[in-house]
Amino acid sequence: MSILLQQDLCRYLKEAGWAEGGRVVACTQPRRLAVQSVASRVAEEMGVKIGEEVGYTIRFEDQTNPSVTVIKFLTDGVLIREMMDDPLLTKYSVIMVDEAHERSLSTDMLLGLLKKIQRRRPELRIIISSATIEAKSMSTFFQARKKDLLHAAEDCVPSHLPAILSVEEPAGDILVFLTGQDDIDAAVKLLREDTQDDRRRTSGLLVLPLYSGLSRDDQGLVFAPTPKGKRKVVISTNIAETSLTLEGVVYVVDSGFSKQRFYNPISDIESLVVTPISKASARQRAGRAGRIRPGKCFRLYTEEYFLKEMPTEGIPEMQRSNLVSCVIQLKALGIDNILGFDWLASPPPEAMVRALEVLYSLGILDEDAKLTSPIGYQVAEIPLDPMISKMILSACNFGCSEEIITIAAVLSVQSIWVSMWGAQKEFDEVKLHFAAAEGDHITYLNVYKGFLNSGKSSQWCYKNYLNYQAMKKVVDVRDQLSRLLRRLGLALKSCEKDTQILRKAIIAGFFANSCHLEVYYRSGLDS
C-alpha cells in the first residue's frame, strides 16, 4: 500500500473516532526499515512529531508515548509479542496488516492469531492491505462478506532489456532489482567505474545501493532529492518492492529473481537461495515505476515466461522457515495445539516436528510439549532466537552473563562489519587486530570493548571498517537485555578473561550446531 493511502486511511479512521477513548490504530509492516520510513512520512504529512500522535515500535526501539500516540506503526513480530501481555490486543480498535502478499512467517502467524482474537472481539476491525494479494483466499480465510474490490491501475511496458546502460529515456530516476548484497555491491562498483568516464552516457548517473544492512547515512542518500543534472540509479533487493517509496523513480529494471531463505528440517540448515519471483512480485516491482508520473518497467525476461511459467504467488515464509521461534511464541500465548492451529498456509509437518524436538532438547518444552518452568517461560520473555536466549540463561548459571549479553546483542543486529570494495586486504588486516583463536563470538567481545574504549567514536568505527550505527544498536540492545535479566531476577556477572566458561555457555545454547574433531578418525583410503 502506498504511503499516501496509509496516511489517508489513518486520518479517516482518526476522524471517524476509532482513535478516541484511549484506543489506538495499529499499522503493521513486515520489515523494520519500512516501519520507520512509513511512520516518519505519515507523521510528517500529518504535521506531527514522530513519537507523539504518530509513533512506531520495532524490536529494541520504541518511539511511542502511551498517553498521546493514537496511530502506531510496528512490525508483525512486535505485535505478536504484545499479545503475551495483552492476548486480545484490547487497546487497538483497528489493526491494518500491510504488504500481506509477502506471506512472511510473522504475517501468516499474525493473521491466524487475529482470526482467533476477532471471535472474542467482534468489534475489532482488521484491514488486510496489499497491491497484489489473492483477495479471494484471504476473504475465505476470514469468512468475510463480499465487498466491492478496487484494483490499482498498472502502467507497465514489458520489455527485454540487456543492461541498464541502454536506458535512453527522458529524465527520471531508475530502480533496479537484483538478488542480494554481493550482486548489488558488484553492480554498483561496475557502474560507478563506468560513470567516471565523461565520454560515456553513464557519466550523469548517481549510483546508490539499497539493502537492509546499509548504514542509516547510506540509506539517507537513497531517499534524498536527486541533484540537478543527475539521474539517480538505485540498485536494490526486494526491500524496495513494497512499503518504501522512492519519489523520483520513473523507470524500473526487474531482473526476475530474488533471494529467499529456505529451511531444510532434515539437515536443520537454512540457505539463501536465488529463486525466480512470482507474478505478484513482478506486479509489485512494476508498480514502483511512475509513482509521480507515467513510468516504464523493463523486465529482463520474456513475456511468454511471465504468462506461462512464472508462478502466480511465491512460497509463503511459513512453508520454508525454521519454526522454532514461531512455536515458542504460540506456546507462550497459551496455544498448546500447534498442529490444530488455524494457519492461512499450513507449515510442513517435518518442520513443525523438528521445531518441537529442538525446543525439547533445549529444555524449553517438556515431554508434553508444554513450556518448562522457569526456563521455558524465561526464554519466551526474551525477544531473541530461543538458542540465543538459552545461551543467555545458561551464562547466568556459569557466571559470565555480562559477556554473553554482549555477544547476544551483536548476534541480534545486522553485521557490524562494513566491507569496502577495493580494500579487502586492509579490511582483513583490521579484523586480525580483533580476532580471537576461540572464534567469532570472542572476537565480537574484543570489538565491543574497543568501541567502548574509543568513547563510542564514529571515526574509530570508520578506521576499523565497522558500522557505527550497528555498534550503537549493539550498545542499546545490550542495555535492554541487561534490564530484562534484572527484571527476571537473574544476576549479571563477569567471568573476566575466562573464555572456557564463555564457550560452555555458548555451547549450552548452540550444541545442535556444534561438532568436535575426532583425531583418531580415518577415512579408510590409502594416503
Residue 163 and residue 37: Cα distance in Å, rounded?
A: 30
d(CA 159, CA 161): 6
Per-residue DSSP letter, 104: -
Query: Looking at the chain, how many residues does it have?
Result: 527
Which pLDDT score, from 0 to 100, does residue 168 have?
64
* pLDDT (0 to 100) of residue 181: 85
pLDDT band for position 404 (cuts 50, 70, 90): very high
Q: Read off the pLDDT band of 429 (50, 70, 90).
A: confident
Q: What percent of the chain has pLDDT over 70?
A: 88
Q: What percent of the chain has pLDDT over 90?
A: 46
Q: What is the pLDDT of residues 44-102, one digit of tens each?
A: 878 889 999 999 999 889 999 999 999 999 999 999 999 999 999 999 999 999 888 88
Residue-level pLDDT at 299? 87
Residue 163's pLDDT is 47
What is the mean pLDDT of the segment spanning 356-367? 94
What is the number of other CB atoms lying within 10 angstroms of the CB of residue 47? Answer: 8
User: 527: pLDDT confidence band, cut at 50, 70 and 90?
Assistant: very low
Q: What's the confidence (pLDDT) of residue 421?
A: 57
Nearest to 73 by CA among 96, 91, 90: 96
Q: Tell which CATH architecture fits domain 3-142.
A: 3-Layer(aba) Sandwich (3.40)
The mean-pLDDT minimum among 162-176, 277-291, 372-386 falls in 162-176
The string of pLDDT tens digits covering residues 172-187 is 899 999 988 888 888 8
Lowest mean per-residue pLDDT among 90-99, 139-148, 192-201, 501-510: 139-148
- Digit-coded pLDDT (tens) for 24-46: 999 999 888 889 888 988 888 78
d(CA 122, CA 131): 26
> Does position 401 have pLDDT exceeding 80, yes or no?
yes
- Extents of the domains making up the chain: 3-142, 164-317, 382-513
- Per the model's pLDDT, the better-predicted residue between 78 and 300 turns out to be 78
The stretch 110-138 carries a mean pLDDT of 84
Over residues 133-149, the mean pLDDT reads 62
Indicate whether 131 pLDDT > 70. no
Task: Tell me the pLDDT of the chain averaged across its residues.
Answer: 85
User: Does the pLDDT of residue 160 top 50, yes or no?
Assistant: no
pTM of the model: 0.71
Q: pLDDT for 195-209, tens place per residue?
A: 666 555 556 788 899
pLDDT level of residue 419 (50, 70, 90 thresholds): low
Over 60: is that where the pLDDT of 159 sits?
A: no
Question: So what's the pLDDT on residue 495?
Answer: 93
Q: Which residue has the cell 540465543?
A: 388
Q: Which of these ranges, 66-70, 369-373, 515-519, has the smallest mean pLDDT?
A: 515-519
Any residues with CB less than 8 A from the CB of 383 and at least 6 apart, and which?
A: 59, 60, 81
Q: Who wins on pLDDT, 165 or 193?
A: 193
Q: Choose the most confident range, by mean pLDDT, from 146-155, 335-344, 383-392.
A: 383-392
Bigger pLDDT: 482 vs 216? 482
* pLDDT for 485: 96
How far is Cα 289 from Cα 176, in angstroms, rounded to an integer? 11
Q: 139 φ, ψ to 5°?
A: -65, -40
166 vs 86, residue with greater confidence:
86
Q: 3-142 and 164-317 share one CATH topology?
A: yes
- Chain-centre distance for alpha carbon 49: 25
Helix 499-510 / helix 386-398 crossing angle, nearest 10 deg: 140
Residue 157's pLDDT is 29
The pLDDT value recorded for residue 420 is: 62
Contact (CB, 8 A) for 233 and 249: no
C-alpha cell of residue 207: 549510483
Instruction: Provide the pLDDT for residue 147.
Output: 34
Q: CATH homologous superfamily of domain 164-317?
A: P-loop containing nucleotide triphosphate hydrolases (3.40.50.300)
C-alpha cell read off for 478: 545490550
Q: What is the pLDDT of residues 245-269, one digit of tens each?
A: 788 898 999 989 999 999 988 888 8
Q: Across the strands, what pairs with 273?
A: 260
Most confident of 235-244, 340-349, 470-479: 470-479
Other Cβ atoms within 10 Å of 426 Cβ, number = 11
Read off the DSSP letter of residue 31: S
Check whether 145 has a pLDDT greater than 50. Answer: no
Calculate mean pLDDT across residues 348-361.
93
Tell me the three cell numbers of residue 320. 520454508
Nearest to 161 by CA among 177, 183, 150: 177
